[in-house]
Amino acid sequence: MSLTIATWNINSIRLRRPMVEDFLAEYKPDILCLQEIKCTDDQFPANEFAKVGYPHQAIHGQKAYHGVAIISRLPLRKISSKKCCGIDHARHVSARFEHNNKELSVHNFYIPAGGDTPDVETNEKFKHKLDFLEEMENWFSEPDFKSGQIITGDFNIAPHENDVWSHKQLLKVVSHTPIETQKLDQMLERGKWTDLVRKHIPHEEKLYSWWSYRAKDWDSSNKGRRLDHIWATGDVAQHSNASIIIRPARGWSEKPSDHVPVLVHFD
């Protein structure tokens, strides 16, 4: 039986719930990980998603900021969330599920954006981002992360040259600075993760999942970045057979999210 997992920074689930429902109806992922839901747990439209076939949910919300959620066709168990860097932000939720008689874990992250200045001395938000990445890497070195793991989310880092519209112009822009991209690559290599999107779409191809609201015409200017990712441990990654970024979603409504859905299919 096949499996499809998707991730999407929705930038307010209550504002964009109809877009999510349309996406679910058309693409039918088994599991969808959402970031920046920007609501408390009790404000999350749980009943509405249950009615369209996603009754199993793991929600870690926060009033007006951040917030992550997993909605699923498959039963979820062992739902948990991690407080990173000792800061009480809703930036992680995880759950376990069973597929083809194998138990897997899915983790949904919203890594801090990091502010505007890539300097840990003058920008506390950038320091928080780097500390968050270091804590993730250390956590992933634990035995539980050796197999059966999928991590998804808005990592707020476009790690490679063709993950941004201009490598040279963005080298000093937060999300593509060398210290960030090196930390993410180090995490990938140390944990022996597979970047499932780039497994199927070559690094030579320009690929984005985010386009700024500041652009008057995001489509024609096409100044995007690939900030949204799905990784897996090797035993899971070997079963992935396709990935897709739903670029048209950036224009699905007059007020879309600045991110679009990313999907990975498994055989």
- Percent of the chain past pLDDT 70, that is, above it, reads 100
SS3 8: strand
Say which CATH superfamily domain 3-266 falls into: Endonuclease/exonuclease/phosphatase (3.60.10.10)
SS3 173: coil
What is the pTM (predicted TM-score) of this model? 0.97
pLDDT at 84 over 90: no
Rounded to whole angstroms, how far apart are CA atoms 212 and 214?
Answer: 5
User: What token pair was written down for 127?
Assistant: 């320091």
- Percent of the chain past pLDDT 90, that is, above it, reads 95
Which is it for the CA torsion 159, 163, 167, 169, positive or negative?
Answer: negative
Give me the chain's average pLDDT, please.
Answer: 97
pLDDT digits (tens, 9 = 90+) for 210-233: 999 998 899 999 999 999 999 999
100: left (phi over 0), alpha (psi -120 to 50) or beta: left
User: What token pair was written down for 31?
Assistant: 């599991």
Phi and psi angles of residue 167, each rounded to the nearest 5 degrees, phi first: -60, -45
pLDDT digits (tens, 9 = 90+) for 109-155: 999 999 999 999 999 999 999 999 999 999 999 999 999 999 999 99
User: What token pair was written down for 147?
Assistant: 């197999």
Q: What is the pLDDT of residue 216?
A: 84
Confidence of residue 86 (pLDDT cuts 50, 70, 90): confident
Could you give the angle at which helices 178-190 and 124-140 cross, rounded to 10 degrees?
A: 10
Map out the domains of the chain as residue ranges: 3-266
pLDDT at 72 over 90: yes
Give every CB contact of residue 78 below 8 A, 6+ residues apart in sequence. Answer: 94, 95, 96, 105
